[in-house]
A and B are shown apart, each in its own frame.
Chain A
Amino acid sequence: MELICPAGTPSSFREAVEAGADAVYCGFRDETNARNFPGLNFDLSELREAVGYARARSVKTFVALNTFMTAGKEDLWYRRAHEATDAGADALIVADFGLMAYVAERLPQQRLHISVQASASSPDALFYLVENFGAARVVLPRTLTISDIARISRRVGCELEVFVFGGLCVMAEGRCSLSSYATGKSPNMNGVCSPASHVRYRQAGSDMMSELGNFTINRFSANEPTGYPTLCKGRFEIAESKTYAFEDPVSLDVMDQLDELRAAGVKALKVEGRQRGKAYISEVVSTLRATLNAAPHERAALMSRLKALSEGQQTTHGAYEKRWR
């Protein structure tokens, strides 16, 4: 199985290559990708350089064009698809039907990967993408169990990629407007979720409140670490009980299910985290690489090195496990 690693900056990109990624994915510095954060991402010359660096070491580069094109401004996405292709990208990761159709028609030689944001969660959905756009690979949404994945893999011809480590969307990806309901900025339209520009921290007595737009997302007592107010990981009040209504502040880790994922027919394992610094990328990628290469009984000890890096220091199998539902 291939290891697909994130890079938000050229230096993280090189770290990921050196640490053992089979492919590194990245995006342009604008709203054409779903990690459109200040200080992150690549301009065209940085992308060209990164592709060359990776190729010289037999590592592939995937370019994420995984937001939905703004009506009337489609040319920006089209131009980026051409630029990434000309720069030598090994695949484009796309979420929008309109952009898929454009790539299939105008850049037929370019390998097309379907972003998790497209929410293709059943064999029929994958058939649609393969038949209409020639999709070579689909990144599956984090709504499926491993047995669901195996069932899809037995029926469809394209490659399957799944998330194994990093941040966890609780909602079906690409189908969530929670962030824009609170802030006006969404993953689909703006490439941001719960954006820092709309985050405020406010002292309330000895507690710290975190707010997103006009809404309180969490409240931390003095002895609790103050977490970032990602909307679906917030604490809310339902019928007078205050609780993490959607998900605790956990992150995804299914590296203890490698044999099951391989048996399910998964072709590539994806790591979330283009917003992470290069030290994190280096540590995570080298550990995942070592774990992938290790014998099954050695894996847990290797992965334990990463415990301290996980958000809230707790991890989950998420939807891969039926009980999570």
Chain B
Amino acid sequence: MTSSVKLTLGPLLYLWPTARWRDFYFQVADEAPVDVVVLGETVCSKRLHFMEPEFGAVVERLEAAGKEVRLSTLALVTLDREANYQRSLAGDDTRLVEANDLSALQALKGRSHAIGPFVNVYNGAAAKVLARNGAKEICLPPELPAASIAEIARSCPDVGFELFAFGRIPLAISARCAHARSKGRTKDNCQFVCQEDPDGLPVNTISGQPFLALNGVQTVSYSCQALLDAPDETLSLGIRSLRLSPQNCDMTAVARVYRDLLDSSLGSDQAASRLHEIHPDLPLSNGFHHGRAGAEWIARLRNAEGLAR
């Protein structure tokens, strides 16, 4: 059985070399069972020129393969140059643009658009404000527990809600580049050192425990959030789409795991072990979904109890 839950490939949050970036998306176009691909720099405006030369070719290949392409916007906008970039993206009237901050909401006012996980939607009232502005699809913040998700979706039935179902969790963004700082540089003379770490640069505690990862001005979790509910549970939360955030692994294989999960041809536990095989370095987490510390992994049995409570 094929469920009606779609798969969305979120924007690549990391800086990959141009050719690798292009080839990644070409493979997604040709092989990955995703319905929507959100494309474009989201973390740092200094990186924009890396994807520019191949952007048109990638969009064309994805759309020719039947994928819906959405354009991502920046999550933190302070400079005029960045604000102008947001406005120029908002001018694209052939594709849905995904707002990740307030400046994009202003630029997209009155037009159909999507909302990314960087906009704070913690309740139905906030979702309704965004819907009045033109939001049709909202990817909810990864921090939200399932109880809030169900409540928001129930109170705003005209909007399509999406969950951040796979990937290192975006946890914070700063004016300061901790990634450049860790390599003895500042944001202004960074020389794109974040490119050395295609999955982010791990941050351990001083006791040696893996904890976070740096991605330029963004901090992400060390663990990989993996929401692996059965399709009827996802549907009962009112969710229409799951977001897979690209990591440095075979994302086509990841997408197949989620497609199989949503089509009920794969159970949650099998899905977790398949994900572990695909990216053995990343421990899985799902604590946020259960109202716990985001770093935790709540096993299925506990999970069922949690939902029942």
- Report yes or no: A325 in contact with B172, Cβ–Cβ below 8 A: no
B284 adjacent to chain A (CB < 8 Å): no
B118 adjacent to chain A (CB < 8 Å): yes
- Report yes or no: B143 in contact with A177, Cβ–Cβ below 8 A: yes
How many inter-chain contacts with C-beta < 8 Å in the A-B complex?
230
- Report yes or no: B294 in contact with A180, Cβ–Cβ below 8 A: yes
List the A side residues contacting B173 at CB < 8 Å.
171-172, 175
- Report yes or no: A325 in contact with B126, Cβ–Cβ below 8 A: no
A290 adjacent to chain B (CB < 8 Å): no
Kindly report which residue of chain B lies nearest to residue A246, judged by CB atoms: B178
A221 adjacent to chain B (CB < 8 Å): no
Least CB distance from A203 to B in Å reads 14
Contact pick for A183, options B86, B101, B205, B293, CB 8 Å: B293
A246 and B248 CA atoms in complex are apart in Å by 24
Contact flag A97-B103 (CB < 8 Å), given A215-B211, A237-B204: no
A 67-96 contacts with B by CB, 8 A: 68-72, 74, 95-96
Interface size on A, residues (CB 8 A): 73
A239 and B203 CA atoms in complex are apart in Å by 8
B219 adjacent to chain A (CB < 8 Å): yes
Contact pick for B208, options A70, A186, A237, CB 8 Å: A237
A243 and B206 CA atoms in complex are apart in Å by 9
- Report yes or no: B122 in contact with A68, Cβ–Cβ below 8 A: yes
Least CB distance from A95 to B in Å reads 8
List the A side residues contacting B263 at CB < 8 Å.
none
B80 adjacent to chain A (CB < 8 Å): yes
A 110-145 contacts with B by CB, 8 A: 118-125, 127-129, 131-132, 142-144
Contact pick for B120, options A74, A121, A175, A184, CB 8 Å: A175
- Report yes or no: A172 in contact with B125, Cβ–Cβ below 8 A: no
A4 and B205 CA atoms in complex are apart in Å by 37
- Report yes or no: A325 in contact with B187, Cβ–Cβ below 8 A: yes
Contact pick for A325, options B128, B175, B214, CB 8 Å: B175
- Report yes or no: B123 in contact with A121, Cβ–Cβ below 8 A: no
B300 adjacent to chain A (CB < 8 Å): no
List the A side residues contacting B308 at CB < 8 Å.
none
Least CB distance from B178 to A in Å reads 5
- Report yes or no: B120 in contact with A125, Cβ–Cβ below 8 A: no
A74 and B60 CA atoms in complex are apart in Å by 44
- Judged by DSSP, the binding face of A is mixed
- Report yes or no: A125 in contact with B103, Cβ–Cβ below 8 A: yes
Kindly report which residue of chain A lies nearest to residue B124, judged by CB atoms: A71
A181 and B203 CA atoms in complex are apart in Å by 14
List the A side residues contacting B182 at CB < 8 Å.
238-239, 241, 243, 245
Least CB distance from B20 to A in Å reads 22
A323 and B130 CA atoms in complex are apart in Å by 36
- Report yes or no: A238 in contact with B103, Cβ–Cβ below 8 A: no
List the A side residues contacting B171 at CB < 8 Å.
176-178, 181
List the A side residues contacting B266 at CB < 8 Å.
none
Interface centre among B79, B202, B205 (most CB of A within 10 A): B205
List the B side residues contacting A120 at CB < 8 Å.
102
B292 adjacent to chain A (CB < 8 Å): yes
A216 adjacent to chain B (CB < 8 Å): yes
- Judged by DSSP, the binding face of B is mixed
B169 adjacent to chain A (CB < 8 Å): yes
Least CB distance from A180 to B in Å reads 6
Kindly report which residue of chain B lies nearest to residue A118, judged by CB atoms: B102
Contact pick for B205, options A68, A69, A236, CB 8 Å: A236
- Report yes or no: A181 in contact with B169, Cβ–Cβ below 8 A: yes
Kindly report which residue of chain A lies nearest to residue B188, judged by CB atoms: A325
- Report yes or no: A128 in contact with B125, Cβ–Cβ below 8 A: no
Least CB distance from A311 to B in Å reads 18
List the B side residues contacting A319 at CB < 8 Å.
175-176
A15 and B177 CA atoms in complex are apart in Å by 39
List the B side residues contacting A127 at CB < 8 Å.
106
- Report yes or no: B86 in contact with A236, Cβ–Cβ below 8 A: no
B 29-61 contacts with A by CB, 8 A: none
- Report yes or no: B101 in contact with A239, Cβ–Cβ below 8 A: no
Least CB distance from B195 to A in Å reads 15
List the B side residues contacting A189 at CB < 8 Å.
122, 143
List the B side residues contacting A121 at CB < 8 Å.
76-78, 101-103
A175 and B86 CA atoms in complex are apart in Å by 19
Interface centre among A69, A101, A186, A245 (most CB of B within 10 A): A245
Interface centre among A97, A101, A172, A235 (most CB of B within 10 A): A97
List the B side residues contacting A119 at CB < 8 Å.
76, 101-102
B271 adjacent to chain A (CB < 8 Å): no
List the A side residues contacting B109 at CB < 8 Å.
128
28 contacting pairs across A/B (C-beta < 8 A): A69-B125, A70-B122, A119-B102, A121-B102, A121-B103, A122-B82, A124-B107, A127-B106, A128-B109, A148-B78, A170-B176, A171-B174, A172-B76, A176-B171, A177-B142, A177-B171, A178-B219, A181-B169, A188-B122, A214-B293, A218-B206, A236-B206, A237-B203, A237-B206, A238-B202, A238-B214, A325-B176, A325-B177
Q: A100-B129, A180-B293 known; 6 other A-B pairs, CB under 8 Å?
A: A97-B121, A181-B293, A182-B294, A238-B203, A239-B201, A246-B174
